[in-house]
Every structure is written in structure tokens, then in C-alpha cells.
Structure 1
Amino acid sequence: MISVSPLCVCSEDVFMLETKDSQNPIVYGVFSTSSSVFRGSAVCVYSMASIRAAFNGPFAHKEGPDYRWVEYKGRIPYPRPGTCPSVTYDPLHKSTRDFPDDLVSFMRGHHLMWEPILPVNRRPVFTLVNVSYTLRRLVVDRVEAADGQYDVLHLGTDDGQVLKVVSVPKENREPEEIILEQLTVFQNHAPILSMELSTKRQQLYVSSDEGVAQLPLQRCELYGRDCADCCLARDPYCVWDGNTCNRYFPSNKRRARRQDGKHGDSMSQCHNAEDGSESVELKVIYGVQSSSTFLECMPRSQQATVTWTVQPSHTRTSRELLQSEDRMVHMKRGLLMQRLEPGDAGLFSCTTLEHSFSQVQARYNLKIIPLQSMTASQTRASDPGAGGAGPMGGPGGPGSHTQRHTKLFRNYKDLHMVGMASMSANEYCEELWYLEKKKLRQLKWKRTQVDNGKARVRRHDFTEDTSLQ
């Protein structure tokens, strides 16, 4: 624990990544702050050489009238504190029991080193601030990709989530932090207690008080069926093989492989990269005046910037919907439109922008049902004499059902006739209820006929048996 007023930085977890040199692994550490002023987490990477240099350097101790930490410049007893006793190193010190008293006393008063251990590049490889959760556990997988080598971080949080992160180095700039995936593993938000990585099975095992979960290291099929989506994902595990977004194998020699984790430049990697606006289905959405509606748009990449454009029904020009516009709430999963007005009708498009590549994700044709139509339909429904549902006969009785049920539309999308034709929303629901009730009566009648037929057959068989006797 490192106390830096007014913050307290705590070490949560440490992971040692093995390298070709077994004596010099790479050390990853997760740190968090416990303060009401600032809350955040960070991942730092250290070299074993810098750790050895700090432990072989001077010690720190407190002295002076203000009792501050300063560098210790006095005599250091033999053997040097931190040295493991062994017969090979010194036959007189086979174990810690053989250490002299002055060495034990020195170790009690000098348990900190004076020189700090700075992370590689003197900054964290990943930071997380202004979120409701804290990083707790860490495992690292070194991945061989088509365009180089990456260290993929799998981070466990205190609310049951697992983050898949990669830090992409940039020339003469700070590295780019990319969150590839963010999964909620335990629904009850149980803290992640431990994580184990199996590179042989390509699986990640996560445990909490609720149990153990098994997660695949890669899910390339989620990045879509286009070359552009696969490249923009920038997942070192995945590569475009010419047909699909698939797992990368270093032994694969196919020339059609496309991957660009450092830049995510799909324009240079994919020759047929287009916005795909024509291939996106145009969905018809209906909203009632003065109510709210939601237009869903989920970008495939967390690094993409989402923009909404609208072409009003009474014009041929499109404009961008700004974040500051009244009644329009831009959310992570789409656009919430409040207090709908007749002028809100039109064509809405959701476009994502990432690394100069734009792509249409969703298209909607919003139609507004006037409030007068809904009010009129409610009035007719409340007044049986005005066309509402009457108990017997009349315009609202069963007779009207038999006359008009043939006009009933088969799906909810046909409700665009509401407000534009004679049938209101309540009348549509009434007709639908009547047809369902009629079907149930017919089905019940058929079952009764079948049961009566079976009963007559049984009685005839019994009579024939009696006559034979």
C-alpha cells in the first residue's frame, strides 16, 4: 500500500508473464484508490531489471525532528537484507536462524527501499476512472497476431465483470487503450475472487462466491460477417480470412488474412469496404403523439462514435441530431425521443465512425399517430352507442364483429391504418380479442364432439359384448 495524500493506492493483484528468458519475466500489477475524492484503477507493467535495481539500492528510514523518510547512508550489515540464506552462498548462514542480531534489528527498522520502481514508459498501460466498479484480478495472455505481438489483459472487477483489454503502442505518443469486451459473468454482482488462464484450451476460468465460470478467450463470430467489422474490432485473437472473422493461427499461410490491430484501418485492409447503408433493413416504427419511443442502435465496437441523422417527412434534406437538442436523449443503446410531435416523423439513421470509416448500423421510418385519433378511439370505446363494445347487437355488439373481422390486419405493423382509416387502436384490439375468443369456442366445440363420439363407441362396444354373452 502506498499512501499519497489525500489518496491511498492499494495493490490488488500481481501477474508474472513468462518470457523466453526465465530469469526476467514481465510483472503486471493492478492498483486501485480508496478515496471519496477520487476513485479509479490502473494496470502497470514492470521489468524485473528495475525491480532488482531497486532492491539492490539504498534503504529508506525515518530520522530528523520531523521524522521523515530519507535515504539511509549508514553501514548495511552482512549478509545484505533480502539475501536468501544457503550453504552455497555462505556456509555460516544456512537459514534465517543463523542471522546475527544486528541484521535482524536492521531489517525491522528498514523495511522499505529508497529508490522507486517505475513502470515501463513511466505510465500505466490501462487506467479506469469515473466508474462504479474497481479492478481486482488480472491475468495476461501474450498473443501472436498477424501484425505483431500483443499482451491481452483479462481483468476481473468487484461487481462480477470481466474486461478484455489491449494496449496498443503508438510512435511518439501515449499507448491507445482498447476495451475489446466487457462481460457480466455473475448476475448478482459477486466480486471476482480468482482467475486462471489456459492457453492450451483457449479458456479463461473465473471464480466467485457464486461458482466458477468458463469463458472463451476469443469470440470472433461476434464481430460480424464483414471484413471491415473484423478489422475495426482490433482483436488480436481474430483475423479476416477472406470469408469470415475467425481465430488467427500463426501457422496459417493464407494470403487473404486481414488484420490491423495497431491502426484499425479497414479501408486499406478491405477492398470492398463501404458504408452498407442500402443493405441495412429500414424498420417502420410507430409512436403516439406526446408519448416516447426508443430507436435502438448498438455499435459493434466500443471505440466507435455514434451519430444520428434525420430526414423529416416533409423535406428531402437530412440533418444531424445534436446532443444538446431538446427531447432527444442519446444513450449507449440508442436514441430516446420524448414528447413526440407530428413534425418528428421521418427517416432516422444511426451511423458509426471509427478511424475515418463510417458505417450505417440502423435505419428507421418513424410515423406519428395523431393524438386526436387516439382520443376519438377512446371516446368511441367508452360510449357503446357511439361504436364501442356493446353487450348484444348494435354497432358495438357481436354482430359488428362478424361483419368487420375480415378486415382485421394480421400483424401489429398494420396499425399504420390507425388514425388514417376508420379503425382505431381500441377497435383493433377488440377485433383481435373477438377472433381469439371465437377460435377458442370452436376448438372447445370440436373437442366436445370428439369426446361424445368416443363415448358412443364405447357404449356400442359394451352392448355388443353383452349380447354375445
Structure 2
Amino acid sequence: MWGRLWCLLLSVLTATAVPGPSPRRPSRELDATPRMTIPYEELSGTRHFKGPAQNYSTLLLEEASARLLVGARGALFSLNARDIGDGAHKEIHWEASPEMQSKCHQKGKNNQTECFNHVRLLQRLNATHLYACGTHAFQPLCAAIDAEAFTLPTSFEEGKEKCPYDPARGFTGLIIDGGLYTATRYEFRSIPDIRRSRHPHSLRTEEAPMHWLNDAEFVFSILVRESEASAVGDDDKVYYFFTERAAEEGSASFAQSRSSHRVARVARVCKGDLGGRKILQKKWTSFLKARLICHIPQYETLRGVCSLDADTSARTHFYAAFTLTTQWKTLEASAICRYDLTEVQAVFAGPYMEYQDGVRRWGRYEGGVPEPRPGSCITDSLRSQGYNSSQDLPSLVLDFVKLHPLMARPVVPTRGRPLLLKRSVRYTHLTGTPVTTPAGPTYDLLFLSTADGWIHKAVVLGSGMHIIEETQVFKKPQSVENLVISPKQHSLYVGAPSGVIQLPLSSCSRYRSCYDCILARDPCCGWDPSTHACMETTTATANRTALIQDIERGNRGCEGNRDTGPPPPPMKTRTVLRGDDVLLPCDQPSNLARASWRLNGSVGLSDGQGGYRVGVDGLLVTDTQPEHSGSYECFAEENGLRTLLTSYSLVGWPEPGPAKVPSASDPSVSSPGQLVLLRGRACRSRWPQCHRPLHGPCAGWS
């Protein structure tokens, strides 16, 4: 049933994809399987921090001082980024008073979750101070904190214009050159807004004659230094990513659900915007927004965004995680798309939309566009014409901006399609970093968190993604609330309800052979032929250029290397009575590997042929006969490479009388648990008592 529904969902994904280059492979192949699964019990190199607080949701990494600053519910912490669990942390208790909590509860708020001081903003204010804002039991407060002493000041600032009341409300905030740029729904019943405060020219989005934002939930914001090395004297810009209630026209199904349909957006403002002199006074004159499409516009919800190379605008690009939910509701998938800044800029330089009163909907604007171009930043060309700031812009231009905040063209992903579709997974956050390999190419390494607290590590390979591993970060499932990468510390920091976890960006020692190392396709790992070990490329003491990697294909470079695969264990002897069933275990090292079995070095064994059943845990020989005796070899086949994992010598005994199943003390059994013998066809009913119930090779066999 599930398989049929998923195929139907994939057909919807394909049929409703945005226009773009034809995919080179069907959507089904985008459903990547993580190569390795690392359960919680097998984690290594992790460090933990848990203080007297909950909801460690706000993280600020300061690489220069090697500090990880954390905002939680009722507290702030300053941790050693090298080892967050070393015990040498500083902490600030910043609770809402019992009186404030009581008032919050009297307003109908939840005194178990909402009526606390949830720290939502934590940014560097200047060389000496940090700036933090908290919900403070639905009466937000902000504070300038001495970074060195790490203590609260004696006085606080009103936070209702800077921080949301509701701790669950989408929020993003940046401090840029002393100015505070925030986006959220601030007060309890207020409309969403993008604001700049703590600045000589405080600005906000327009509310009349139309709202520029419609029930928006903000996900991410980033400053892009587009002024640096600009040939036209351009301005820096702040980009905002959010979802909101749709307003523009669309397909028939879109029109029918217009009241509740939500879409993903990207908006931008100019850092040098001063607002208008008379029109748009104290309002943005550079606000523009555009539709952000990943794959199936009717069913996608933006969950998380990260940016790479934001300091160099020519290379800036974004990765976004979407949840894809169909009308069946129970079928859920996630998609990852990449967007280049150049494409976003092109959309903002394109045609506008306008609200058409006659048909009461938005449509493409076909009239003339005034000069200077509405919504643009002040450049050298405009300064030469006497427009030195936004306050010099003509009224005609500002009137146009008020009525045309939406662009007609959507922003489509690079190459017109997602990098990844993943079924039965809801990604919630993502972060990434570029990794330059010893051979020269640079790859984007992404970390994605799931709703149940797993972390997927993936590398972007041209038109797709390879998921290197999935890691169970928590013993009990819980949501991930933030992800931050430190390339300098080679660490990933995970903020969660119960605390903060520090994970290494790579664990190359996990790969024991040359084949295993290159099959991982981890840009942080390379095989060192001189030490016969998989090394981290950033810390290898040997010549980095001698390390063997094959990120693109994942199967070349180990030819002629004597460390291609792990040394197989000695051949095991297995004895079985005639007519009995026997399992020859063979655990595959990778989720992408396929088991292949050979008898007597040449005969390939296939599932269902000659009494053989090939399962995820090994080879089951049913109703054993004398002709089943011989030498059995189990190989792992992955990406064109084959590695011998284990071998058995199977000896069949005649049945002299009433058969008995050999026990673990039988001399023919080398160690307990390595041999499973079941009488006749009993495997189908007794397997749960004989082997792991979730992975038994009898599961699903008839």
C-alpha cells in the first residue's frame, strides 16, 4: 500500500515540477539512502553540555575567541567551543519573575511552556558587549551584556519592538554595524514585520493600503556584502526567508485553497535604506519579495535555510529544506534545493506583480516602470543623478514601491530541480560549510536535522546529494532546535531541548580500508597509503596530496593498494542435519552495499533459487541437502567495488534418526549467536526467538 502511494506521490512530484532543464534521472532516484547508520550507542568523539535550563535554542559561535554562546529558557551560557563539556563555562540566570509568570498565566498562556524567558536573540553588539532579547513571559526584554564578565546589566531595554512575545513564533535577527534587523510577529495580535531598530533611521514594512507581509513565519536572514568589489557602487543587502499566506494568482487548485495556502518567499532590503522623506516615511523603500519554489509549489513548506560564501557575493548561494505534504496528509517527504544569489538578483531586477481590483487578485504588471527603478539600492549611477539616499527618490517611485512589493517571476532552484528528495523524513534545520579537498575541488558539506533528532551528513555533488551517514544524536527522540558549524574546531554544535551536543565533522577512523574510505565520499576523509589509515584531510600530518579520494565517483584510487578491503575473518565451519535450515550470517558494512554469495568460488547464488534465501543479515539455506555442502563466500558489492566479508564451509550430515538442533556448545559452532539452525520450515514462525526481530532474513518471506 505504502509503495503504491509513494509512487503516486513521486508522479505528482514529477508532474508538478517547475519548468527547467530536464532531469537526467527520474525523481525516484533522488530518494537517497544514507550510506552509514550510526546509532546512539556507537557515537564517538561527542561532548555534551547541560546546565540548569531547558530549550537550548539560540547559538552564537565566535570563532576568534573559541566561544560558543548559548541562549536557553531562563539562562545564557558561554562555553569553550573546543570542548563544551569541560566544565569551565560561564552562565547567566535570566528568569522571568514569579509575578510576571503569574500575569502571563492569567492571560491564558501555558505556564509549563510559554510563561518563561526564552532567549530568542543573541548577537555581538560591539567589541565589548553582546546583545540579548528574551520573551520574558510575554513581556519581552533586551539587555546589553558585558561579554568578558558575562553578567547582566542593572537596567534593561524594552523588547516588544525587537523580540516576539510568543516563544514558538518564527523569528530571525541580526546586528549589522550596530543596527538591529529583526523579523517576526512582535506583539500578541500584531501583523508580521521586518524592522530595523537601534539605528538613527528606524524602519519597518508597510501596512497600508496593503500589507507587504501576510501572516509570515520567518526562518532565516543573512547579510550579503554586495558593496564589496562592486563596479557600480552597490549597497549591502539583507535577505529574509519565510513562508506566508499566498496572495498571487495561480492554478485552479491553488485558487480553490487560496485562503489557507502558504508559499515560500525570499525578500530583501538595502542596508543603506533611510526610508522616504514624505511617502514611505520610516518605511523601507527597498523592500521586494519573490516566490521561492523548490519542486511542488502547492505542497511545500519552508523549514530551514543556510547560506554559504555570503562574504563573497559573486559566489553566495543558499540551501533550503522544504517539507512536501500532499492532500493525503500521511505521505510526507522532504526536499533540499540550492539557489544562487545571481538568480535571486535577476528575479528582483525583473517584472513586478500588482493587485488588480477588477478581478480582486494579483497579476503581472504590464505598465511602465518609473526611474530610478523602484526597490533598487542607491548606486554610483543614481548618486551622479543627485539621488544620494532613499529620501531623495521621487514620489512616483515611492508610490510604485508601496503598491508593487511582489515580483512576477519566482526564484527557481539551480538546474531547475531539487538536489534531494527524501521520503518519510521531515528536515527541520540545516547548515553547511565548503570543504576544499587535497586535489583542489571544493565541495559543500551539509548537515540536516530531522524532526526526531537524527543528523544527516551529506555532500553536494553537482546535480545531486550523497548522504554520507545518518547519526542518532539523542538516546530518546527529541527535536533539534539549532545547528552551527565551526570549521576551525572541526565541530558541529546541536542545540536541543535537553542541552547542547558537540559532534566532530568527520570520524574518518571509522573507515578501516581504502575501499571503505573512498566509498564514503566524505570530502573530509582520505586514505593515506603510507599509514594504511583513513585520515582527516584537515589534520593529516603527511603530505595531503598523497591522500586517496574520489568524491565524484566514489570508487577509484585504491587499485593496486593492498588495503582495499578489511581482512576477512578465517573460514568458519558449519554443520547441518539434512532437511534442516541454516543461516550463514553476513552483516553488510554499508546501507548501500548489496550482498552477493558464491558457492565453491564460482556459482553465484540468487534469492529463491535452489533453497537459498538472501536476506539483510545473511544467507538462509532451507531444507539442506547433500548438494548444499561446500564453500560459501559473502561479498559486499557497492558502487562497482566488491569486498569479501566472510566465508563458510558448510558440511551436511545425514539424519540418523530423530533430528536435533545443535546447540551453541556444539563443537561445530565456533561461537554463540553465529549459527542459527531451525528445523525444516520452522523459520517462518520461530524466527523472532532465534534472531533480531527487526532484521531477520525470514521477515516477509513466504
1:185 CA drift (Å):
1.2
- Equivalence for 1:297: 587
- Equivalence for 1:17: 308
1:28 CA drift (Å):
1.3
- Equivalence for 1:91: 391
- Equivalence for 1:425: none
Q: Secondary structure at the match of 1:51?
A: helix
User: Which of residues 346, 358, 363 is equivalent to 1:70?
Assistant: 363
- Equivalence for 1:112: 406
User: Which of residues 327, 345, 348 is equivalent to 2:632?
Assistant: 348
Root mean square deviation, CA, Å: 4.1
User: Which of residues 420, 428, 448 is equivalent to 1:155?
Assistant: 448
With normalisation by structure 2, the TM-score equals 0.45
Distance 1:254 1:248, change over 3 A: closer
Matched, 1:257 2:541: no
- State the distance in 2 between where 1:164 and 1:217 align: 9
1:163 CA drift (Å):
0.9
Q: How do 1:357-396 residues align onto structure 2 when only pairs under 5 Å count?
A: 357-366=641-650, 375=659
Q: Secondary structure at the match of 1:412?
A: coil
Q: Secondary structure at the match of 2:299?
A: strand
Deviations 1:264-316 (CA, angstroms, capped at 9, x unpaired): 343x444235876974432345667656636132224x444x232142xxxx5
CA contact (8 A) 1:280 1:360 kept: no
- State the distance in 2 between where 1:334 and 1:361 align: 12
- Equivalence for 2:341: 48
- Equivalence for 1:230: 517
Structure 1 gaps of 5+ residues are 170-174, 379-408, 418-469
User: Which of residues 578, 598, 620 is equivalent to 1:337?
Assistant: 620
CA contact (8 A) 1:234 1:264 kept: yes
Corresponding letter in the other structure for 1:247: E
More helix by share: 1
Alignment: residue pair count: 364
Q: Which has the larger radius of gyration?
A: 1
Q: Secondary structure at the match of 1:116?
A: coil
CA contact (8 A) 1:295 1:364 kept: no
Q: How do 1:208-287 residues align onto structure 2 when only pairs under 5 Å count?
A: 208-224=496-512, 226-241=513-528, 242-243=530-531, 244-249=533-538, 253=543, 256-266=546-556, 268-273=557-562, 279-285=568-574
Distance 1:179 1:255, change over 3 A: closer
CA contact (8 A) 2:575 2:650 kept: yes
With normalisation by structure 1, the TM-score equals 0.65
- State the distance in 2 between where 1:119 and 1:64 align: 32
1:157 CA drift (Å):
0.9
1:416 CA drift (Å):
5.4
Distance 1:156 1:369, change over 3 A: farther
1:141 CA drift (Å):
1.2
Deviations 1:218-276 (CA, angstroms, capped at 9, x unpaired): 1110111x33332232211011222111111399645632222122343x444235876
Distance 1:62 1:338, change over 3 A: farther
- Equivalence for 1:121: 415
- State the distance in 2 between where 1:285 and 1:69 align: 74
Structure 2 gaps of 5+ residues are 1-262, 265-292, 379-386, 671-702
Matched, 1:164 2:457: yes
Distance 1:414 1:76, change over 3 A: same
How high is the sequence identity, in percent, across the aligned residues? 26
Distance 1:370 1:188, change over 3 A: farther
Which structure ranks higher in relative contact order (CA pairs < 8 Å, sequence separation ≥ 6)? 2
Q: Secondary structure at the match of 1:360?
A: strand
CA contact (8 A) 1:158 1:191 kept: yes
- Equivalence for 1:454: none
- State the distance in 1 between where 2:343 and 2:488 align: 31
CA contact (8 A) 1:287 1:293 kept: no
Q: Secondary structure at the match of 1:113?
A: coil
Matched, 1:35 2:326: yes
Further displaced range: 64-73 or 189-198:
64-73
- Equivalence for 1:391: none
- Equivalence for 2:667: 414
Distance 1:372 1:15, change over 3 A: farther
User: Which of residues 116, 119, 137 is equivalent to 2:429?
Assistant: 137
Q: Secondary structure at the match of 1:133?
A: coil
- State the distance in 2 between where 1:41 and 1:326 align: 41
Corresponding letter in the other structure for 1:139: T
CA contact (8 A) 1:287 1:340 kept: no
Matched, 1:195 2:195: no
Further displaced range: 24-33 or 357-366:
357-366
Corresponding letter in the other structure for 2:350: G
Q: Secondary structure at the match of 2:409?
A: coil
Matched, 1:59 2:352: yes
Deviations 1:381-436 (CA, angstroms, capped at 9, x unpaired): xxxxxxxxxxxxxxxxxxxxxxxxxxxx9x8351559xxxxxxxxxxxxxxxxxxx
Q: Secondary structure at the match of 1:200?
A: coil
CA contact (8 A) 2:317 2:341 kept: yes
Corresponding letter in the other structure for 2:460: S
Q: Secondary structure at the match of 1:337?
A: strand
CA contact (8 A) 1:40 1:127 kept: no
